Structure formats: C-alpha cells, structure tokens
C-alpha cells in the first residue's frame, strides 16, 4: 500500500452505500434467523389464498351438521352473488356502495378530527412540563376505556345520528394518536436539536424543521393502529340506530338469516382494511422515505 | 476574529441520590483566534462538559466564558458545533442540510446555493447535493456536518469527537480534511477526542484533562499540525518526536486511569 498525504486528497475514496431496498447479489449460507432474508413470497401467498378458498369449498360441500348447513354457511357463489346484488339492487333498499361509503366516511371523519386534535396535544405533551402535567390525567384515564363502553353515553349526548358515531370513532383514535405524537417528539435526538440551535434556528423553526419531521414516522404508525381500531369500533357501533353502513347491513342480514350478505360485508371490511393499510404504506414511502434510517 | 476567554469555570452536577459530581473545577484559559485546540483525557474529566458550556448548551455553576468580550449564555450561530454522528437531518438532502443555517436566517437563495456548491467542493462532495444523507457513508456524513457548520460562518467551531465513529482509515483521511479546513478558513477550532494520536496530530495546542474534579492537567504547544501541511501524515506520526510525545501523554492518562481504579473505579 502506498502512503498518501491525506491533506492532498482528503478522501474521494469513501463509497456510497447501495440504494436502500435493492439487495446486492449475495451468496449467503446463513438465512435462517436472518430477518433481512425474510421478505415473503408472492407465489406462496397466491397458493395460501387459493388454499383458503379450497378449505371453504370443502367444508361447505362436506358439511351438513348443526354448525355447517345451507342456512348457516353460504357458498362462495352465494357470497359473490350477494356482493353483486348488493352493488346493483342493494340490500333492504340500501346499495352496498352506499353502505361501504357511509362506513368509510365515518372512519375518515373520526380519524380526521383525531389527527387534527391529537397531534398538537401530543406535541404539547412532548414539549412542555406544564402541558404534560395537564393532559396526562385525561389521556391516561380515557385511554384504557373501550370506546364501546361509552356508546350509551354518546348516544344520549350526541344522538343516534352521524355525530354520535363520528364522536365515538374520534374517541377511539384520539388517545392512540396523542401517544404516538408524544413519543415522536420525545424520540428526537438531543444532538439534532442542539445542532439546529447552534445553526441559529428559532424555537418555531426547530419545531417545524426538526421536531415535526422527526416525529412523522411515529405519527404514521399511530394512524395505522388507530385506523384498525376505528374499523373495529365502527362496525360494533353501527348495531345501534344505524340504517346505513356495513355494520348495520351485517346485523340486519343476521336477523333475516342472510349469511351470504353477512359474509359479503365481512369480506368488504377486510378488503377495505387491507387497502387502507396499503395506502398508508404508500404514503409513508412517499412522505417519509427516511424512516428507520436516522 | 474573537478571543475566547474562560475564567474560573466550575460545574457541579447534582445526582438524584443527593450526592454531587464536580465535573469541572476552576478551569481558566485564553485562546487566541485561529488556534486548533484539542481536549484529551480519560472519561469523566469534563472535556465534553467544557465543550457543551462553550457551545452554550450548559450553564456553568461558577465562572465566566466570553467570546470577543460577549458572555456566552446560550447556543448561537457564532459557535458552530460538529457532533460525533446522528446530528444530520435525514429528512433533508445533503444540500438542504448544508444550507440549513443560512435558510433559517433567510439569506438570499441564489447566494446560499452558490455557497453550498463551493462548500461541497471544499469537503470533497461535489455533485452530492441532491443525495439523501442516509445514502452516504459515515465519513461522507461527517463531511456534510463540517460543511453545514462552515456554511453558517461561525467564529469558532466546536467538535465533539467528530471522527470517533469512523473506521481507522476514513478517520485518518478525515483528520487531513479537518486540518485543511482549519488552515483554509483560519477559524478557531476546539476538538474533543479520545485518541491520543488524533489529539497530538490535529492540535496546535493540547489540554490533557484529569478527572475528579475535572480540570486541565497539562497544556502542550504542539508543532505537528503545522508540519502536517507540508509533510506526509504517516511519516509524521512515525517520527521520533511524535512517538515520544505520544508515549508521554499516554502514560499521563494511564496514570490517571489507575488512580481512578484505585479509588473504586467506574
């Protein structure tokens, strides 16, 4: 090796890391226990999905018991027809698209208000001892309460209309968002904040350019968790006093023993949940590409 | 260019169990502009505490610090800071990181862009402006940190183990860059390090600090940083003069470590 004076050539030799996500061709001998090697397999996922359908089919064909019979267990064809009929004729005078959109819209409204209120409150709790002291008791007290336990109160206070349901979803999501935002603020590294101060940034600039972007990954995670909780809460909430909505449709269908409609509703909720999570992950990649790379 | 004046600095940390630690005791020194001072010592000698007081992140229990006769009361852009790692903003491109200080001050965009280009050239990162910082190696990230600090045109640059997280070869290259920037800009630099070799090679002045209480044990005026500009780094570090100084400082620090262990250790 030749010696070079580092003063003459202060390092043009550092290498750039390979782009994230693109694995270089490797010949690893150890893959069991290596998390980076476990990224899933599309062919096996397809087989798994087909397998689930086959199990459904077999149980249906082979089963004629108290649990599995024509009244309790719809065929795939019946469910597909229920979905088709739902979107064309509707069920009990309500189109399936209307049911789906109504439920989705309730979730969106509840989440919207939870984010609008929850993020600033979480930030306040992460930035000020006084505000942390003020908000800690309500957050810690309300957080463990299952939203459905409050349903009777919410119906009395806000009525059986849209407001009561949106308020319930807001309540279900709020604490999760507050705690996620607070954690995001508290997770900012001291040296980043110190660096920003040394570079002459004001408190407001540090909030905008350092603390907020640093907290975004945690906020996104809390939004994803809250979305899941909202769907669970919504369907249960729609039992009471709702004419329209996927939960309302499912419970109405149950009363008339329309198990095909029940299963159709369940599947639509599942697909919507997956689609929303995909959308959130897409947003994450677009908005916070630095996630986990600090 | 401003004189740094430190007088009777003391720092006592109160511990939760009721005790206290004297992290600094009666630290006084003056530093003329354009010097490169390195701080070296075993852990607990207060060198990082001293740097944090100079940066304005900590307020001393006693004593005063002034830069150009202005007392230091908090962080300010006149005193730039380079951290060991993790202080870059990974949500900004390399160029946005470098231009952070000027942008916060609202400096004219065209002027800032030109300045960023020139600084990236200075630290050897031409053409890397649009890269994300997390795509860069550790050494390149520290180059960005240096450029970001310089963009703000500070009077004094404080470095808290800036090369501590780098591998040995990259570290040596970066030492060259630190010296080059120091010479080219003529700025005052104060650099904390754990490496005896680095402290001797980079510092044209060295404080060896001692713990319990944290204090300046010995002051060295060193010729190596000046020589490094004309001679080869490896040869310089292998010279008899350098090795003799290195052993002298190393045995001082070993002695301190053994005294600490004798008192119950850490």
How far is CA A281 from its chain centroid? 9
Tell me A10's DSSP state.
-
- On whether residue A14 sits in a domain, the answer given is no
Q: How far is residue A121's CA from residue A138's CA, in Å, rounded to a whole number?
A: 12
* pLDDT for A171: 94
Q: How far is residue B139's CA from residue B5's CA, in Å, rounded to a whole number?
A: 32
Tally of domains within chain A: 1
**Partners of residue B172 in chain A, C-beta under 8 Å:** 6
Work out the average pLDDT over A66-81. 85
Q: How far is residue A151's CA from residue A167's CA, in Å, rounded to a whole number?
A: 10
Q: What is the ipTM of this complex?
A: 0.91
Q: How far is residue B101's CA from residue B98's CA, in Å, rounded to a whole number?
A: 8
Question: Is a pLDDT exceeding 60 seen at residue A20?
Answer: no
Q: The domain spanning residue A242 has which CATH number?
A: 1.10.3720.10
- Percent of chain A surpassing pLDDT 90: 57
Residue with tokens 């640093």: A214
Concatenating the DSSP letter of every residue in B60-100 gives -SEEEEEETTEEP-S--TTEEEE-SSS-S-TTSBHHHHHTH
* pLDDT for B93: 94
Per the CB < 8 Å rule, is A3 touching B235?
A: yes
- On whether residue A22 sits in a domain, the answer given is no
Q: Indicate the helix (H) or strand (E) that contains A40.
A: none
Question: Is a pLDDT exceeding 60 seen at residue A120?
Answer: yes
CB burial of B135-152 (b: ≥16 within 10 Å; e: otherwise) equals bbbbbbbbbbbbbbbbbb
Per the CB < 8 Å rule, is B91 touching A194?
A: no
Cβ atoms within 10 Å of B18's Cβ, excluding its own: 6
Q: Which two tokens stand for residue A217?
A: 């990954």
Q: How far is residue A218's CA from residue A32's CA, in Å, rounded to a whole number?
A: 30
The superfamily in CATH containing domain B1-78+156-204+215-266 is P-loop containing nucleotide triphosphate hydrolases (3.40.50.300)
- A90, A102 in Cβ contact below 8 A? no
- Does the CB of A43 have a partner CB in chain B at under 8 Å? no
* pLDDT for B88: 95
Per the CB < 8 Å rule, is A10 touching B177?
A: yes
Question: Which portions of chain B are predicted below pLDDT 70?
Answer: 262-266
Q: Where are the alpha helices (DSSP H) in chain B?
A: 47-55, 94-98, 100-105, 109-122, 138-151, 168-185, 196-202, 224-228, 233-237, 240-262
- A212: distance to nearest CA of chain B, Å? 10
pLDDT digits (tens, 9 = 90+) for B45-67: 899 999 999 999 999 999 999 99
B62-67 and B215-221 as β-strands: parallel, antiparallel, unpaired? unpaired
Q: Which two tokens stand for residue B126?
A: 């031409």
Cα–Cα distance list, A8 to B22, B144, B231, B232 (Å): 43, 19, 10, 9
* pLDDT for A7: 47
The whole domain housing A203 covers: 74-285
- Does the CB of A7 have a partner CB in chain B at under 8 Å? yes
**Average pLDDT over chain A, rounded to whole?**
87
* pLDDT for A61: 78
* pLDDT for B212: 85
Q: How far is residue B140's CA from residue A115's CA, in Å, rounded to a whole number?
A: 38
Q: How far is residue B145's CA from residue B156's CA, in Å, rounded to a whole number?
A: 15
Partner-chain residue, chosen from B104, B137, B172, that has the shortest CB–CB distance to A205: B104
- On whether residue A54 sits in a domain, the answer given is no
Per the CB < 8 Å rule, is B77 touching A198?
A: yes
* pLDDT for A16: 55
Per the CB < 8 Å rule, is B152 touching A189?
A: no
Question: Is a pLDDT exceeding 60 seen at residue A3?
Answer: no
* pLDDT for B189: 95
In chain B, domain spans = 1-78+156-204+215-266, 86-153
- On whether residue A6 sits in a domain, the answer given is no
Beta bridge partners of B64: B7
pLDDT digits (tens, 9 = 90+) for A247-293: 999 999 989 989 999 999 999 999 998 899 899 999 999 999 988 77
More confident: A122 or A277:
A122
* pLDDT for B230: 80
Least confident range from A12-21, A64-73, A218-227: namely: A12-21
* pLDDT for A182: 96
- On whether residue A29 sits in a domain, the answer given is no
Tell me chain A's radius of gyration from C-alpha atoms. Answer: 26
- On whether residue A231 sits in a domain, the answer given is yes
Q: How far is residue B165's CA from residue B171's CA, in Å, rounded to a whole number?
A: 8
Per the CB < 8 Å rule, is A191 touching B83?
A: yes
Residue partners of B67: CB distance under 8 A and separation at least 6: B2, B3, B4, B5, B78, B79, B155, B156
Per the CB < 8 Å rule, is A294 touching B90?
A: yes
- A217: distance to nearest CA of chain B, Å? 11
Q: Indicate the helix (H) or strand (E) that contains A79.
A: helix A76-88
- B35: distance to nearest CA of chain A, Å? 18
- On whether residue A189 sits in a domain, the answer given is yes
* pLDDT for A115: 97
**Partners of residue B80 in chain A, C-beta under 8 Å:** 198-199
């Amino acid at each position: 090796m030749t010696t070079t004076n580092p003063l003459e050539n202060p390092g043009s030799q550092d290498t750039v890391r390979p782009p994230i996500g693109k694995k270089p061709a490797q010949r690893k001998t150890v893959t069991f226990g290596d998390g980076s090697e476990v990224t899933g397999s599309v062919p096996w996922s397809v087989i798994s999905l087909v397998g689930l359908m086959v199990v459904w089919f077999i149980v249906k064909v082979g089963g004629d018991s108290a649990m599995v019979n024509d009244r309790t267990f719809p065929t795939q064809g019946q469910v597909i027809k229920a979905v088709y009929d739902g979107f064309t004729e509707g069920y009990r005078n309500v189109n399936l698209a209307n049911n789906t959109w109504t439920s989705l819209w309730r979730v969106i409204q509840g989440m919207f208000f939870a984010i609008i209120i929850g993020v600033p409150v979480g930030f306040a709790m992460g930035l000020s001892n006084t505000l942390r002291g003020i908000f800690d008791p309500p957050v810690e007290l309300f957080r463990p309460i299952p939203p459905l336990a409050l349903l009777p109160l919410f119906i009395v206070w806000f009525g059986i209309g849209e407001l009561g349901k949106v308020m319930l979803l807001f309540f279900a999501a709020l604490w999760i968002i507050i705690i996620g935002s607070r954690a995001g603020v508290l997770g900012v590294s001291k040296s980043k904040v110190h660096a920003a101060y040394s570079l002459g940034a004001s408190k407001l600039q540090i909030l905008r350019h350092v603390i907020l972007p640093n907290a975004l990954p945690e906020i996104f995670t809390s939004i994803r968790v809250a979305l899941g909780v909202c769907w669970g809460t919504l369907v249960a909430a729609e039992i009471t006093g709702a004419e329209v909505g996927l939960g309302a449709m499912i419970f109405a269908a149950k009363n008339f023993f329309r198990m095909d409609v029940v299963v159709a509703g369940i599947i639509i909720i599942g697909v919507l949940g997956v689609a929303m999570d995909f959308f959130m992950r897409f947003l994450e990649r677009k908005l916070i590409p630095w996630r986990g790379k600090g | 260019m401003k004189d740094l004046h430190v007088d009777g600095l003391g720092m006592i940390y109160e511990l939760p169990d009721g005790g206290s630690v004297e992290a600094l005791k009666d630290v006084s020194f003056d530093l003329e502009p354009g010097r490169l001072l390195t701080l070296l010592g075993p852990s607990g000698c207060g060198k990082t505490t001293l740097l944090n007081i100079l940066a304005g992140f900590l307020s001393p229990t006693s004593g005063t610090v002034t830069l150009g006769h202005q007392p230091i009361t908090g962080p300010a852009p006149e005193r730039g800071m380079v951290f060991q790692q993790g202080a870059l903003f990974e949500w900004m491109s390399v160029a946005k990181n470098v231009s952070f200080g000027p942008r916060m001050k609202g400096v004219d965009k065209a002027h800032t862009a030109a300045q960023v280009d020139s600084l990236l050239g200075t630290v050897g990162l031409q053409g890397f402006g649009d890269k994300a910082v997390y795509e860069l190696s550790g050494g390149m990230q520290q180059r960005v940190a240096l450029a970001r600090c310089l963009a703000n045109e500070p009077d004094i640059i404080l470095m808290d183990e800036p090369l501590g997280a780098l591998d040995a070869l990259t570290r040596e290259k970066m030492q060259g860059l630190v010296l080059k920037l120091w010479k080219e800009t003529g700025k005052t630099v104060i650099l904390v390090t754990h490496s005896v070799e680095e402290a001797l090679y980079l510092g044209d002045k060295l404080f060896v600090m001692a713990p319990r209480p944290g204090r300046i044990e010995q002051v060295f005026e060193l010729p190596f940083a000046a020589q490094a500009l004309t001679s080869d780094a490896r040869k310089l570090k292998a010279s008899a003069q350098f090795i003799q100084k290195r052993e002298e400082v190393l045995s001082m620090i070993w002695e301190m470590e053994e005294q600490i262990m004798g008192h119950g250790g850490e």
